[in-house]
Structure 1
């Protein structure tokens, strides 16, 4: 097969443009609705919790909206495949599976992130105006000098992993992909937890308080003798989290951040390529 049959820059650009022309009204409406919902949620959070005074205090709300809106939006990808007539039209469009997949991938990652950040920015600015009129004091933008907020950027890596997982779920499950993907995710986590519990019991059962004192890839909470009381000849016990050494979990974290999303996207692409209606 010729490379041009798999990916053509000209054909990909034409298909991407067609997708935007066909759906720009939906995306504009989504931006307006998302901004309104975020504004309502921010005002509710600020008025319900008077201690919110800085942008850093809004990070939890930002992340909740990012995950909820992003994963719901991703779960709507390839919805045409759940309907026979729409699925046939989708598969017969003059573009390769890779070009269709890349279009959806760009829309649900870069496209969504751009729209979400614009919506959140508009919601924050509108909320600031309302708060200033009500209290006379706007929110303080402390993100530039608040070093304690730097660590929250790891959530972007986690979001990309979750997005890739939900995109794969939309290809595998034609209907109710959101619910089925979440169910599969919890089954996977439960399985990993139980497998880790078995190995933890095998190696540390004498030192663990109970079988639940562990978490996969994090560590095992064990009891160790701390000191001996001479008059009672008994040990006082203390809990110690036995964690993976840094040289072990650093590669795991790097793999999770940079390799898991591309792997899941690749699996989703090959599943889409073999899709039948």
Structure 2
């Protein structure tokens, strides 16, 4: 195994990673796209386009992305495949970059492109179904628009995607068997613990708490109304930076370190 980076060898490793498991990679991608389309169509028929956009994007992008990340370095379910992967004449950096490229770049690009096509189709279909002579035509027309990847909802989903993908990639190097399920259980446990710990701490300072969003806001019952207490702007910015960049970056880089350890 060579510890130096070589672009030609990287290309060979990437090609091998994709062609060696085409059924798994293409199958995951195809299933994700089909589920996204079905989710969009079903939710749109029941609750409208706005909810369909968010539901399909969250479910397809996050679930599909987590499976892809878990599979990118998922060679260690058996000793033979794990040993074969570790013995490839390539550096750990090249192998790690292949996984990053597959799960964090190529998957995301294909999914976002497909979602945009689906979204444009349904939105245009909605526009065509409107009556231009209706007095509410303008309001109805402008009430629906193509889902923007730069809006606040999309940005939050992207942050969750990179955190979950990093956790799945790292988990596949620590858990040889059913790594996806084990990491999913750990993530769910952490989320539940964080929520209730945050609720408990908030209860020490406030009464009549309606809901508490970890690291963001506390909703208080004030008579028949709901009041919101947000974190100070500086603290909120620091936490946002931590969740958006530090934690996912740490997860992805730790996967590189773990892969290097497995090769030793």
* TM-score range for the pair, normalised by the shorter chain length: 0.7 to 0.9
| Cα displacement string for residues 134-188 of structure 1 (whole angstroms, at most 9, x for unaligned residues) | x9639x77238x89x8222312122111211221121121112222112111222
Instruction: Structure 2 unaligned segments of length 5 or more: list them.
Output: 131-140
Whole-angstrom distance in 1 between the partners of 2:121 and 2:211: 46
Which of 90, 103, 107 in structure 2 is aligned with 1:108? Answer: 103
| Cα displacement string for residues 72-110 of structure 1 (whole angstroms, at most 9, x for unaligned residues) | 222223221110111111111111112111101110010
SS at match of 1:242: strand
Partner residue in 2 for 1:228: none
Matches within 5 A, 1:235-246: 240-246=227-233
Give the 3 Å change call, closer, same or farther, for CA 264–32 of structure 1 in structure 2. closer
Give the alignment's TM-score, normalised by structure 2. 0.77
CA RMSD of aligned residues (A): 3.7
- Is 1:142 the equivalent of 2:170? no
CA contact (8 A) 1:82 1:175 kept: yes
- Is 1:80 the equivalent of 2:79? no
Whole-angstrom distance in 2 between the partners of 1:87 and 1:242: 50
| Cα displacement string for residues 205-225 of structure 1 (whole angstroms, at most 9, x for unaligned residues) | xx4236x8544322445678x
CA shift, 1:67, in A, is 1.0
SS at match of 1:170: helix
Partner residue in 2 for 1:152: 153
CA shift, 1:242, in A, is 3.2
SS at match of 1:171: helix
- Is 1:269 the equivalent of 2:252? no
Give the alignment's TM-score, normalised by structure 1. 0.73
Matches within 5 A, 1:1-277: 5-24=3-22, 26-49=24-47, 51-52=48-49, 58-124=53-119, 137=129, 142-143=145-146, 150-154=151-155, 155-197=157-199, 199-202=201-204, 204=205, 207-209=206-208, 214-221=212-219, 240-275=227-262
Instruction: Structure 1 unaligned segments of length 5 or more: list them.
Output: 225-235
Larger Rg: 1
Whole-angstrom distance in 2 between the partners of 1:221 and 1:40: 35
